[in-house]
A and B are shown apart, each in its own frame.
Chain A
Amino acid sequence: MKGQRLGWAPYALLLPSLVFLAVFFAAPMVQAFGLAFQNDAGNWSLESWRTMFADAQFREALVTTLILIVILIPVQFVLAMAMALVINARLKWSGLWLYIYAIPLGISELAAGIIWFAIFTQQGWLNSILEGLGILDRPYIFLNYQNPAWLISAVVLAEAWRATSIIMIILVAGLQGIPRDFFEAADVFGATSWQKVRRVILPMLRPSVQVALILRTILAFQAFAVVIALAGGGLTVLSSEAYRWYSDYRDSHVAAAYAGFILMLSVVSTILFLWLLPVREEQQG
């Protein structure tokens, strides 16, 4: 297509999505930043940011969010990679596995949180099973605000269950773009399965890995509904603080500051991934 005269056609085709993005994404984002840097009187000010940083919950929300990310991303990545390799091995029924793995993708974040709540709650499935097996003689309260380790574990489990297949789908798409000859060459030249993954598959999959990690990390910074459903007020993350400031304290300025802070963290993490996993043109087939 290079050098071909296309006239206005490409711009016309781009226009609908540009308008959509401008109206529903760019404008609210600019507004939110405006709110974050203004005080109640409508003057420019860093007051909301000072309030946010000074807030007793801020530190806890930030630490919890980071813990979630530090645990979730590697766990999900390893799981997703394993699932993707199972599917790409084209064993019998591998199509079926793809659908099973993808089921959580069809379930909303809040519904996923409620499903796991139903598992972990006092009269939930987990307690029923453990009691039935005689391991517990009375229900154990997993989701207790005095026991943040359990709360975080439950959130990690629910998030991993809900969102691992997003990573998997990106990795499967990437894997299917790699000609099988490369895997066979690795086999012929003596690579074990692990060496094949480490020396051939992961490096060749780098563009997909990069996209998957960036996407998943951004989504993890926004984790909200699952946390609310499982932990209620027992566990706080950055986006639930934004929500709390907006709906409980009716302070849209501090809420906007939280939103802006999440955006900045997302940008920093994206830059970090781009820098840690550079995709060099000469290294692509």
Chain B
Amino acid sequence: MAEIRLQGITKIFDKKVRAVDEVDLTIADREFMVLLGPSGCGKTTLMRMIAGLEYPEHGRVSIGNRDVTDLPPRRRDISMVFQSYAVFPHLTVFDNVAFGLRMKNIAKAEIKRRVEGAAELVQLGPYLERYPAQLSGGQRQRVAVARAIVMEPAVLLMDEPLSNLDALLRLNFRAELKRLVGELKTTTIYVTHDQVEAMSLGDRIAVMREGRIVQCGTPMEIYDRPANRFVGGFIGSPPMNFLSGRIERSNGHLQVGLGDQMLTVPATLGGRTAGEVLVGIRAENIEAEAAPAEGAIAARTEVVEPLGSHLLVTAAVGDQKLKIQARTDFPARPDAPLWLRPEPDKLRWFDPESGQEIDAR
């Protein structure tokens, strides 16, 4: 059992910068948790505190019901894949992978067995006698992963492990990593700024901003119901569209006005009946029509980007821009009018001041 519990973790740099601010997070045994956020959000610092490479000013870290807050990394039963790989250049692949086992004085025969097993898992079998300088970037990355998994740790930490690979390798290795960690069933924490990686790998994602966790949930929850404007804008490509509107009441029904057009809204808007509101909708949840239709909003086409599987259309409603995913056979032309029909149950509502989601369900 290796549940990780973080309680009130705070890290302050230079006596004033709160890199991590009162973070509470519980990661279940065998869970794959992704820490996601833009650079400088504190995700790497949070992971380093779990590793024991940094110590928090306040708060406790426990792994498997054991308080490890004040223990050095080697007493925490963790292992880590570094962003730079940090594969020792003076050691062969075998010796790199065996490094941690040797530090634990494990018998030679068992080291050999386990190193060869781990190397097999990441397809490094034929390269055990090579030095890292004789390997490609992708292979060095595998050495770093093998060195971490061979320890059979309670917790596996990965700090942006794919960010130094080129795009194609990253795509392949992502899936391989998912399979591997799925087989190992080790509690894993994975730091990334890449929302696609986060979506694809995580059982749950903790989205961080300015040292705090702003939302934590399954990838689909976070994608579908972002807790605030920041999360909606950060997750998804293209990011969620946001349009500002005005809540109006006509014939006893609530409506939201976008310029001079009206958008039908759910029965309640978190109790709001007037004022500004931010409407969030994802590009794939808007149906584009070439002709006026009942309940559709008139817009003007600005840019058409054919992306192979679909068209990405940038449209303007009044002076507000939004992106729409349209079928490739949609007759989109710059400057042509088009009509937009958002899926009503995919509309999300946010407070324009705080950016927080308004629960309209």
Enumerate chain A interface residues (CB-CB to B < 8 A).
Answer: 179, 181-182, 184-192, 195, 199-200, 203-204, 206, 281-285
Cα-based distance from A189 to B51 in the complex (angstroms): 11
CB contacts between A and B, total, < 8 Å: 71
A interface secondary structure, majority? helix
Which of A182, A190, A206, A282 has a CB less than 8 Å from the CB of B103?
A190
The distance in angstroms between the C-alpha atoms of A206 and B89, with both chains bound, is 12
| Residue picked from A179, A192, A204, A283, most chain B C-beta under 10 Å | A283
Q: Which residues of B contact A185 (CB under 8 A)?
A: 80, 82, 86, 88
B165 at the interface (CB under 8 A from A): no
30 pairs, CB–CB < 8 Å, chain A vs chain B: A181-B82, A181-B84, A181-B86, A184-B73, A184-B82, A184-B86, A185-B88, A186-B99, A187-B53, A188-B73, A188-B74, A189-B74, A189-B99, A189-B100, A189-B103, A189-B147, A190-B100, A191-B99, A192-B74, A192-B103, A195-B103, A200-B88, A282-B133, A283-B89, A283-B131, A283-B133, A284-B89, A284-B90, A284-B133, A285-B133
Cα distance, A35 to B327, chains bound together (Å)? 93
From A187, A188, A204, name the one whose CB has the most chain B CB atoms within 10 angstroms: A188
How far is A173 from B359 in the complex, measured between Cα atoms in Å? Answer: 58
List of B residues within 8 angstroms of A203 by Cβ: 88, 90-91
Partner among A187, A204, A281 whose Cβ is within 8 Å of the Cβ of B88: A204
Cα–Cα distance between A185 and B80 once the two chains are bound (Å): 8
Docked pose: A285 CA to B133 CA in angstroms: 6
- CB of B131 within 8 A of CB of A282, answer yes
Name the contact of B90 in the complex, choosing from A186, A190, A204 (C-beta under 8 A): A204
Q: Are B74 and A191 in contact (CB under 8 A)?
A: yes
Kindly identify which residue among B79, B90, B103, B134 contacts A191, using a CB–CB cutoff of 8 Å.
B103
Bound state CA distance, A184 and B131, in angstroms? 20
Interface string of B51-94 (1 = CB under 8 A from A): 11100000000000000000011100011101110101111000
Q: Is the CB of A184 within 8 A of B53?
A: yes
Nearest CB in chain A: distance from B202 CB, A:
22
> Which residues on A sit within 8 Å (CB–CB) of B147?
189
